[in-house]
Structure 1
């Protein structure tokens, strides 16, 4: 994929978030919509598709494997499915850019294909751990070679057959669960995954929408290989991970009153709402409804006085991608916030525990990294900072989180290495500026 232009954010201090806005479509659901639509029989029409670099990497990969795809055009995509055995070998390695979801899910989906394929990514993705998916896939009979350290590139070779697996995941991960289930579509017999804690269930919901039988009992989900998928119509809700920055921004900025339209509120994804409410946030869900098997609602959030809490461990997998934003809320809350049980944050696009701690310390907030979490003592952002210069380390969620910190900072904030914001939230700066954030993009 082409290199992204260097981008910095300059954030003016103060302001409030008001009005109404709609965040882009859910990235997790956008990935899965293309994958399953490609394997389906007949056409699938998708609305609300996220036109960010990560989702487009998944779309491009299936186009290169012979799937006819029209769009995206204003979030609308038409996919002419080729059936479960209709994919063809690409003319080279599939470059998935910065998308860990693409790589881990495709490892499972492609493990049962009849052709060899190599998955590669950018420098950041090439450092992220892949044994968490390649090990259980190997138990099913897959042949996947990686680097000596278990990272990309992943070289997937065809095998005579895959066997069903009853897999107990050592760590809660929706990507691992989904990878094994997608391989299970091609495996003989039943494939089951048992989670230590409930994770996002978009794969299971979408398989059902495409007519594939999925069985769940408690934290165990099963399917039987050899079935078929049927094309359908899908409406992708707004991404709650993208909404999280605005939920936090409006919660911490005096005078804020913001309405976020048509946001997905899947119960396996609402940890950010649960945690912010426990901190005292004023968040109201309005007009709850369902689209494409996914629950959604309009969300109204107003400024509130937040207090520090010990974040419940059972909320960690429900908010794993939203913690950088939650850490900004903690920095503005009264008292101490403590997170544990979140070691997964250290192997995201960056070490999100250390990078957020470094940035908060730079802004004068006491943030102590823990092996599996962080301790943050709320205070005045920017009270002791010298330059307000934050390094996002190429992590889109770090960049957007510190952008919202400007609403409560005593001075301007400069955020470096923000180009990957386009991977998950194209148009973030314009949307944020439109509702009151003093943000300016500087491109090198």
Structure 2
């Protein structure tokens, strides 16, 4: 599955109990950052467990375009010979980031304080997504950006020849914006300060420290304040990428709603800025055991034992949104099988993801016979109980991998099959999704097979 070219229609059918071990891929957020910081270090960084989805592969290609030597040595094993902070060369061609909002925004930040020019583009979905939320703070460093109307790709970024450090209050909870500003701050003199009112995933802060950056974090009256000292010499590292909780969400949720299921999902990141979905599922009554807690690559991980469960609807705390923003689509699918109503507030960020995820989930769930309500910043799903979802519809995925996977999981427990119009975008983040799920016993097939 490529996310490019011809659509790949897929269908999920009500399945028998799922069983076995689900070894999900490496964390996408950490994989992006390992490649980028490796390219900014002096010497060789070695990475194991790298997610080899298209989003991450596009970031690896981009780092090569900026002058780093990036080599694959085997499944998940990569090395990066970096060029140092401020050492990026001007790329010869357009940087194509495919479907990856994380990739393009972090890379823009990384090059914005070097005196080079780069042009960025992506697939049809990425070209619809707003870049102003990143280019606006990058302009404070002295960078300039020229894009399509509405601040959309294709876009050319002219890096600052004489960057200045900035102090920036992030207007909306966004790890991408925060990380882009911090990466830009690496090549600016003095201290760059980022303040976020609501904490977001902290992989950048953890990894920057690991590579030798001087970075401090404190809670203040304004919010969480991150202070970064500019122009360090980053040291190459050995990075072990933990398994992605956003990918683990799909087999975990499938096992919860398919009667009689029991699976093990080993080595999943339990970073507290990323584990909001698992906390929410447990509150809904999910039987999830967190076994063998440990630390890998500077990140807390655990093995998840998951058994089919009778779930109840809840009101998800609005403050939890930042820690599970990518998991609301699959939560909405699971909520359809709960008893009672699940209320999700503080989720307007979903409107500007790969698709308008609130609208995409609402329309698809309605087509499958589930009653939903939506507002700009809210989604409500009225659960139909175990096995109660009628199904029998084809959901439009809008080139969004998480929408595609969420409706395929929905179909595994619905009364009638559920199809998606295009499963190809799944490869951007979870290239082994199809084989992993069918290996557990899930009935998922491509059209014509």
- What TM-score results when the alignment is normalised by the length of structure 1? 0.97
- Which position in structure 1 is the counterpart of 2:204? 203
Q: Distance in 2 between matches of 1:149 and 1:2?
A: 24
- Which position in structure 2 is the counterpart of 1:345? 350
Residue 145, structure 1, aligned to residue 142, structure 2: no
Shift, 1:440, TM fit: 0.9
Determine if contact 1:382/1:388 at 8 Å carries over to the other structure.
Answer: no
- Pick which of 110-119 and 229-238 moved more: 110-119
Residue 60, structure 1, aligned to residue 61, structure 2: yes
- Which position in structure 1 is the counterpart of 2:442? 437
* Residues 344-402 of structure 1 deviation map (CA, whole Å, 9 limit, x = unaligned): 001111110011011111111101121112111001667555x4222212110011111
- Which position in structure 2 is the counterpart of 1:15? 16
- Which position in structure 1 is the counterpart of 2:191? 190
Q: Distance in 1 between matches of 2:190 and 2:145?
A: 21
Determine if contact 1:11/1:412 at 8 Å carries over to the other structure.
Answer: yes
Q: Distance in 2 between matches of 1:181 and 1:416?
A: 38
Determine if contact 2:47/2:78 at 8 Å carries over to the other structure.
Answer: yes
Q: 1:196 to 1:336 in 2, by over 3 A?
A: same
Classify the secondary structure of the residue corresponding to 2:434: helix
Q: Distance in 1 between matches of 2:399 and 2:123?
A: 11
- Which position in structure 2 is the counterpart of 1:259? 264
Identify which of 401, 416, 424 aligns with 1:419.
424
Determine if contact 2:337/2:388 at 8 Å carries over to the other structure.
Answer: no
* Residues 262-300 of structure 1 deviation map (CA, whole Å, 9 limit, x = unaligned): 111111000111111111111111111111211111111
Shift, 1:72, TM fit: 5.6
Residue 408, structure 1, aligned to residue 408, structure 2: no
1:373-412 correspondence runs (5 A): 373-379=378-384, 384-385=390-391, 387-412=392-417
- Which position in structure 1 is the counterpart of 2:84? 83
1:199-238 correspondence runs (5 A): 199-218=200-219, 219-238=224-243
Unaligned runs of 5+ in 1: none
Q: Distance in 1 between matches of 2:73 and 2:357?
A: 31
- Pick which of 157-166 and 1-10 moved more: 1-10
Classify the secondary structure of the residue corresponding to 2:267: strand
Residue 280, structure 1, aligned to residue 262, structure 2: no
* Residues 3-58 of structure 1 deviation map (CA, whole Å, 9 limit, x = unaligned): 34421211111322211121000000000000000110110110000111000000
Shift, 1:193, TM fit: 1.0
Q: Distance in 2 between matches of 1:393 and 1:377?
A: 24
Determine if contact 2:240/2:297 at 8 Å carries over to the other structure.
Answer: yes
Classify the secondary structure of the residue corresponding to 2:57: helix
Q: Distance in 1 between matches of 2:10 and 2:280?
A: 27
Q: Distance in 2 between matches of 1:319 and 1:16?
A: 27
Q: Distance in 2 between matches of 1:141 and 1:64?
A: 23
- Which position in structure 2 is the counterpart of 1:329? 334
Classify the secondary structure of the residue corresponding to 1:187: coil
Q: 1:31 to 1:262 in 2, by over 3 A?
A: same
Q: CA RMSD in A?
A: 1.6
Identify which of 309, 315, 321 aligns with 2:320.
315
Shift, 1:192, TM fit: 1.1
- Which position in structure 1 is the counterpart of 2:176? 175
Shift, 1:111, TM fit: 0.5
* Residues 415-436 of structure 1 deviation map (CA, whole Å, 9 limit, x = unaligned): 1111110000012111000012
Classify the secondary structure of the residue corresponding to 2:113: coil
Determine if contact 1:54/1:424 at 8 Å carries over to the other structure.
Answer: yes
Q: Distance in 2 between matches of 1:443 and 1:5?
A: 14
- Which position in structure 2 is the counterpart of 1:39? 40
- Pick which of 246-255 and 338-347 moved more: 246-255
Classify the secondary structure of the residue corresponding to 2:9: strand
Q: Distance in 2 between matches of 1:178 and 1:437?
A: 37
Shift, 1:202, TM fit: 0.6
Shift, 1:97, TM fit: 0.7
Shift, 1:116, TM fit: 1.0
Shift, 1:250, TM fit: 1.1
Shift, 1:84, TM fit: 1.4
Unaligned runs of 5+ in 2: none
Identify which of 277, 282, 301 aligns with 1:296.
301
Determine if contact 1:382/1:411 at 8 Å carries over to the other structure.
Answer: no
Q: Distance in 2 between matches of 1:366 and 1:256?
A: 26
Q: Distance in 1 between matches of 2:78 and 2:419?
A: 36
Shift, 1:322, TM fit: 0.6
